[in-house]
Structure 1
Amino acid sequence: MTDPTQTQTQTVFDTAERTMWSGRARAYAASFGRLCAHPVERLLDAAEIETGTYVLDVGTGTGTAALAALARGARVSAVDADAGMAVVAQAAGVDARVAALPQLSFPDAEFDAVVGNFVINHVGRPRAALTELRRVLKPGGRIALTLWGARRGAGQELFGRAFAAAGAVIPADLPRLDPAEDFARTADSFAELLREAGFTDAGAVELEWEHRTTLDEWWGGPAAGVATAGLVVTSQDAGTVVEIRREYERLAAEFAAGGHELALPHIAVLACGRAG
C-alpha cells in the first residue's frame, strides 16, 4: 500500500525516474554500475567511514558503496527508491530497504555518516533531500555525495554524439528537473547547496578518471533501456537503433585502448560537509 504522505513528496520528475529504472537493476550493474563504482572509495574517505561508523547509504543502487563501507568495518543501512535495486543489494548482503528522498523513516540523529553515490541527480527536490539527510545525521556527522556535473568528459558525450550522427529523435518526455529546483552543477554550487541545507565545512571537488570498458559492455546499458541514454535508444525505430549502433562503433574508435578495451574520460563532483 502506498503511503499517501510519501506520495505527496514526489514530483513528476521522481515519477519519471521510478519508471525509467524499474526492472533494470541487473542491466545497470552490468554496464553503468561499473562506471559509478569508481568514486566509491573517495566518497567513503570524505565521509570518514571506518570501523564502527553507523552509515546510511542513500540511493544504494545494487549496493556498491554499502558493501565497500561494510568492508571497512562500518555498520550500514541502505535505501533505494527502486525495489529491484534493493533486492539486488540485499542479495549481496546489504541491509537495504525501499525508500525515496526526501522522506525517510529513520529517527532524527540516527547516523554517524551519510553517503550517496550519484543519488542527487535522481531526486526531484534536491534541497529537501539534503535537509532530510541532515535530519538523520547526528550533530557533527559527515555527509559525502557524488554528482554528475555540468563539466563532462569526452566519454560522457559519446552516446549523445552517436544519437546526433544517427539522426535519433530525442523523446520530449525525458525526465527533467523543475527549473525552480535545479542548481548549477559545479563544485562551488554543490558545496553551496550543502551549506544552504545547514551543513558546515562544506566543500566540493571535481573527480576525473578513465572508465575502462568494452564496446559491447558499454552499449549494453542503453540497449537495455538503462538511464537517459537507454530511454533514447529504446524509443527509436529498429532502423535508427541500427544506425545509432553503427555511429557509436565509429565514434568509440577514438577511445580504443588496446585489445577490445575502451578508455572513456569521465568527470564528476564530490561534495562533503558536516551536520551542524
Structure 2
Amino acid sequence: MTAFDVSERRIWEGRAESYARTFARLCAHTVPALLDAAAVGSGTRLLDVGCGSGSVTVAAVGRGAVVRAVDAERGMAEATRRAAPGVEVRIGTLPQLPYPDGEFDAAVANFVLNHVGRPLDALVELRRITRPGGRVAVTIWQMPGGAGRELVGRAAEAAGLVRPEWLATVDEEHNFPRTAPGLAALLTAAGLRDVRSESLAWEHRTDPEEWWAGPAAGVAAIGQLVNSRGPEGVAAAKREYDVLSKEFASEGGDLVLPHLALLAQGRV
C-alpha cells in the first residue's frame, strides 16, 4: 500500500451511511453512461468495483446483468448487500481483487480510481479479471473540476483551514492528468484497446444542508479538511459556506452545482 492508500482507508472507514445520505446521489449521475460504456445488458457477467452504496449494482441488476460487487470498506459492502439482496459482495482492495483471470464480461469502477494510490496497477487488475474481448469502463473526477465541486473547499479555505499533514496525495510517479486525454493514456498503458474518453457535465441539485452534511460528517478528503480544526473549524467553514453557497441557489432554495467528470472505456 502507498501512503495515499493508507490515508484513504482512514478517511472512509465507518462512513458508509454518511456517504449514502449525501454524496452518493451525486456519484450516481454517471451510472447509466458507465453501464452503457461497458455494454452491460441481460446476462452480462459484471463486476462492480468499489461498489459503495450500491447504485451501480442495483442499476446493472435492473438491466438483467449477472452482477458481483467488491469494496475495500466493510460498511460499503454491507450497504450494497442491503440495496441488492442476492448479489455476492466481497471485501477486496485494488490492485489485488479476489477473482480469477477473465472471470467477467465487463468490469466497471465508478469514481474509484480517485481513491487508489496506483491507478495504472488498478486498471491492469480490472483488465486481468475481464475476459478477452470484454470491456472495462471507469469514471473519475475531472481536474480542474466544476464550480459546484469546489464550493466546500472554497469555504474551508476562507475559514483558514489547512489540509491535515496525514492526508496523503498520490505519489507523482503514479499520478496522471485528470483530463480526457490523460485518462485515455492511462487505459492504453494498462493494455486496453479501442480506448475512448470523454467529459461529462451536469448540474447537481441538492438541499444546502444536505450538501454540507457530508463534509461535516468527515466524508471524503474534503470532510477531513473541514474537520481538521475540530468543531470550531467546522463552524467557521459553515459560516463561509452559507455565504458562498448563495452563488448557486435556485429560486426554490436548492443549490444547483455544476460538476465535471471523465468517463473512459476500453476493450481487453
TM-score by length of 2: 0.97
Instruction: Name the SS for the 2:48 alignment partner.
Output: strand
Give, in whole Å, the separation in 1 of the partners of 2:230 and 2:83. Answer: 37
Instruction: Name the SS for the 1:101 alignment partner.
Output: coil
Give, in whole Å, the separation in 1 of the partners of 2:82 and 2:246. Answer: 37
RMSD, aligned α-carbons: 1.0
Report the alpha carbon displacement of residue 172 of structure 1 after superposing the two structures with TM: 1.9
In structure 1, what is the equivalent of residue 144 of structure 2? 151
Report the alpha carbon displacement of residue 167 of structure 1 after superposing the two structures with TM: 1.3
Tell me how many residue pairs correspond in the alignment: 266
- Cα displacement string for residues 187-246 of structure 1 (whole angstroms, at most 9, x for unaligned residues): 011011111111000010000000110111000001110001110112213333212101
Query: Is structure 2 residue 102 aligned with structure 1 residue 104?
Result: no
Give, in whole Å, the separation in 1 of the partners of 2:205 and 2:236. Answer: 24
Give, in whole Å, the separation in 1 of the partners of 2:199 and 2:4. Answer: 26
Give, in whole Å, the separation in 1 of the partners of 2:25 and 2:144. Answer: 20
2:83 alignment partner AA: A
Report the alpha carbon displacement of residue 165 of structure 1 after superposing the two structures with TM: 1.3
- Cα displacement string for residues 235-275 of structure 1 (whole angstroms, at most 9, x for unaligned residues): 21333321210110100001011223110000000000000
Query: Is structure 2 residue 80 aligned with structure 1 residue 79?
Result: no
In structure 2, what is the equivalent of residue 213 of structure 1? 206
Q: List runs of 5+ in structure 1 lacking aligned partners.
A: 1-9
Give, in whole Å, the separation in 1 of the partners of 2:222 and 2:73. Answer: 19
2:4/2:167 contact within 8 Å kept: no
Report the alpha carbon displacement of residue 169 of structure 1 after superposing the two structures with TM: 2.3
Instruction: Name the SS for the 1:151 alignment partner.
Output: coil
Give, in whole Å, the separation in 2 of the partners of 1:167 and 1:14. Answer: 27
Query: Is structure 2 residue 7 aligned with structure 1 residue 16?
Result: yes
The correspondence of residues 195-274 of structure 1 with structure 2, limited to 5 A, is 195-274=188-267
Q: List runs of 5+ in structure 2 lacking aligned partners.
A: none
Report the alpha carbon displacement of residue 156 of structure 1 after superposing the two structures with TM: 1.1
Report the alpha carbon displacement of residue 62 of structure 1 after superposing the two structures with TM: 1.1
Query: Is structure 2 residue 17 aligned with structure 1 residue 36?
Result: no
1:188/1:203 contact within 8 Å kept: no
In structure 2, what is the equivalent of residue 114 of structure 1? 107
2:145/2:260 contact within 8 Å kept: yes
In structure 1, what is the equivalent of residue 175 of structure 2? 182
Instruction: Name the SS for the 1:180 alignment partner.
Output: helix
In structure 2, what is the equivalent of residue 63 of structure 1? 54
- Cα displacement string for residues 109-151 of structure 1 (whole angstroms, at most 9, x for unaligned residues): 1100011000000111111111111111110101110011212
Give, in whole Å, the separation in 1 of the partners of 2:203 and 2:219. Answer: 20
Which range is displaced more, 173-182 or 222-231? 173-182
TM-score by length of 1: 0.94
Instruction: Name the SS for the 1:184 alignment partner.
Output: coil
1:114/1:133 contact within 8 Å kept: yes
Instruction: Name the SS for the 1:37 alignment partner.
Output: helix
Give, in whole Å, the separation in 1 of the partners of 2:186 and 2:233. Answer: 40
Report the alpha carbon displacement of residue 44 of structure 1 after superposing the two structures with TM: 0.3
Instruction: Name the SS for the 2:241 alignment partner.
Output: helix
Instruction: Name the SS for the 2:145 alignment partner.
Output: coil
The percentage of counterpart residues that share the same residue type is: 53
Q: Which runs of 4+ in 1 moved over 3 A?
A: none
Report the alpha carbon displacement of residue 166 of structure 1 after superposing the two structures with TM: 1.2
2:103/2:129 contact within 8 Å kept: yes
